[in-house]
Amino acid sequence: MTAASEVVWDLVRGAWRFAALSALVELDCPGHLEDGPLTVEEIAERCGAHAPSLARLMRVGASCGLFTAVDPGRYALTDAGRLLVDGVPGSLRRAVLVNTAPALSYATSNLAATVREGRSAFIEKYGVLYDHLATDPDLSHVFNEYMTDRALPMAQGVAERYDLSSVKTLVDLGGGRGHILAAALRANPHLRGVLFDLGHVLPDARAAFDEWGLSERVELVEGDFFASVPPGHDAYLLGSVIHNWDDEDATRILRVVREAMSDDGRVLLVEIVVPDDDSPHYGKDLDMRMLGLFGQGRERSRSEHDALLRAAGLRLAGTYDLPVHATLIEAVPA
Ligand SMILES: C[S@@+](CC[C@H](N)C(=O)[O-])C[C@H]1O[C@@H](n2cnc3c(N)ncnc32)[C@H](O)[C@@H]1O
């Protein structure tokens, strides 16, 4: 194979490998191996599968680094495979599940139509993702859990790397289950929080804050950040929110926040900052998710973030690197 064809084959094989990954997760093969190595027959019995077919699936899983063959036909989890077990710290199982959900797969398989029209084929069929999630509690639950898995390392990064000692109240807009806010509260005992999101998200958030013993320090507010947000506070966080929206909508949200915040307040965006060159980058791949689901919602470069903030009467004051390719962007009134 030439180097040029290898580039293309690698991309095609990515689709085959993702199909295998999805099947392994759906059958919960990693979960069955959690307590130790098993033979293909033993795994097949536990997940109700056809053993000779499963043998092939396990072989490709091992070739991708998810399992090791401790004996012929007997597999153990690797560190990467363990991340596909439900409930382990840092589990990425939901990242696979959410990407195979039929509605979200529709966005992927209709990407060309989206690019042709400049409008999301997903939105044409299902409406805006968050309205659709409100009608599908099961998908909403998996999506919120996936966002949680993704947000946890970012949350830890915000708590460790950003100084909130002079902030009185952190308002987490579109906060989901509130993991970033919770990590900030744990690291800053003086801090109070407001979690602001759509109504259908708040029961999950309420349960989470109760479980963490943080309910006393948090107010949960239902609302629409295009209309208004809780006014007069000194810090507003938007974690993975702005990338869901086109420039016009993103500016509208930021303007609402600018109007609500105190003049000495700050806005904290947790976003991906995409490099301006052609190097491979997680943000460029995730941008295909944004394109498919949200049309003109997008991952942005530093200068694009800067332009959005300026359009909303804000100014980029600093950036802080976070885990999982994210950046905390600090903005203050211009
Ligand atoms: C991509 S998720 C980010 C969740 C969380 N901030 C995180 O970092 O994991 C976007 C969040 O914005 C919320 N959202 C969407 N539209 C909204 C609106 N109009 N007003 C308030 N929240 C909204 C969604 O319900 C969802 O929780």
Residue 69: which H helix or E strand, with range? strand 67-71
| Amino acid letter, 64 | C
Determine the distance separating the centroid of ligand 1 and the alpha carbon of 199, expressed in angstroms.
Answer: 11
- For ligand 1, atom 14, name the residue with the nearest CA: 174
C-beta 239 within 6 A of ligand 1 = yes
Determine the distance separating the centroid of ligand 1 and the alpha carbon of 79, expressed in angstroms.
Answer: 31
Q: What is residue 150's predicted lDDT score, i.e. its pLDDT?
A: 86
- For ligand 1, atom 3, name the residue with the nearest CA: 240
**pLDDT tens, residue order, the chain (334 aa):** 789 999 999 999 999 999 999 999 999 999 999 999 999 999 999 999 999 999 999 999 999 999 999 999 999 999 999 999 999 998 999 999 999 999 999 999 999 999 999 999 999 999 999 999 999 999 998 888 888 888 899 999 999 999 999 999 999 999 998 999 999 999 999 999 999 999 999 998 999 999 999 999 999 999 999 999 999 999 999 999 999 999 999 999 999 999 999 999 999 999 999 999 999 999 999 999 999 999 999 999 999 999 999 999 999 999 999 998 999 999 999 9
Domains of the chain with bracketed CATH: 3-82 (1.10.10.10), 153-333 (3.40.50.150)
Q: Ligand 1, closest atom to CA 201?
A: 25
Residue 330: which H helix or E strand, with range? strand 326-333
Q: Which residue, chain included where needed, has tokens 């759906």?
A: 26
| Amino acid letter, 186 | R
Neighbours of 276 (CB within 10 A): 10
How far is the C-alpha of 325 from the C-alpha of 229, rounded, in Å? 28
Q: Strands 235-239, 266-272: parallel, antiparallel or unpaired by DSSP?
A: parallel
Instruction: Tell me which of 243, 281, 305, 325 is the catalytic residue.
Output: 243
Strand-pairing partners, residue 267, are: 236, 331
Q: What is residue 144's predicted lDDT score, i.e. its pLDDT?
A: 85
How far is the C-alpha of 173 from the C-alpha of 178, rounded, in Å? 9
How far is the C-alpha of 213 from the C-alpha of 272, rounded, in Å? 30
Q: What is residue 46's predicted lDDT score, i.e. its pLDDT?
A: 97
Q: Ligand 1, closest atom to CA 151?
A: 9
Catalytic status, residue 243: yes
* Residue 109 CB partners (closer than 8 Å, separation 6+): none
DSSP letters, 181-224, are: HHHHHHH-TT-EEEEEE-GGGHHHHHHHHHHHT-GGGEEEEE--
Q: What is residue 151's predicted lDDT score, i.e. its pLDDT?
A: 86
